[in-house]
Amino acid sequence: MEEIKKIIEKIFKITDLKEPEVSIKKDNSLSNKEVFDVNLTINSRDENFLIDNNGEGLNALQHLVRVLLSKTNPGHFVVIDVNNHKEIRKNELNEIAIDAAKKVRRTKEALTLEPMSAYERRIIHLKLAELPDIVTESTGEEPERRLVVRLYP
């Protein structure tokens, strides 16, 4: 966990971003990998830099940390969040999923959602998998890959 913190601190030192407050929590939910949830607490100017454009900066930071960590600690998996942005987005996606299911039930027609990242589509897939009368599938090519929600046949 200390290695993750050092990598993040180095990245922030070579950028114009203020060094974040880093909290790391180990998650043992996956048996084959060590998973670490990393939350960065940073000021709002730097937060906007990382989470604008659908979190592209945050995803890039997460990818960079994963690559650097894999060189010394293969088998580790890092999930980075900034000021709980991902948790807030997860709640929004769950609401989108429930609203989509309600609309599909009401209209009895399939509904295609906006393009989303694989991470965001997965959240909706998992939420709607709880509903026995609704099925989902991804369609299209990245970065325009979308989720289709429909009634179970």
Comparison of pLDDT for 43 and 74, the residue scoring more: 74
pLDDT tens by residue, 2-18: 888 888 888 888 887 77
Last residue of a domain, one of 31, 65, 83: 83
- Single-letter amino acid code for the residue at 120: E
Pairing of strands 21-27, 34-41: antiparallel
Query: Based on the domain organization, do 122 and 70 belong to the same domain?
Result: no
pLDDT tens per residue, range 64-94: 888 888 888 777 778 888 888 888 889 999 9
pTM over 0.85: no
pLDDT reported for residue 113: 98
Both structure tokens of 132: 């026995």
Same domain, 91 and 125: yes
Please check whether residue 3 is in contact with residue 28, taking contact to mean a CB–CB distance below 8 angstroms: no
Domain that holds residue 115: 87-151
CA-closest candidate to residue 131, choices 103, 97, 108: 97
Interatomic CA distance for residues 33 and 17, integer angstroms: 30
Segment (H or E) for 76: strand 76-82
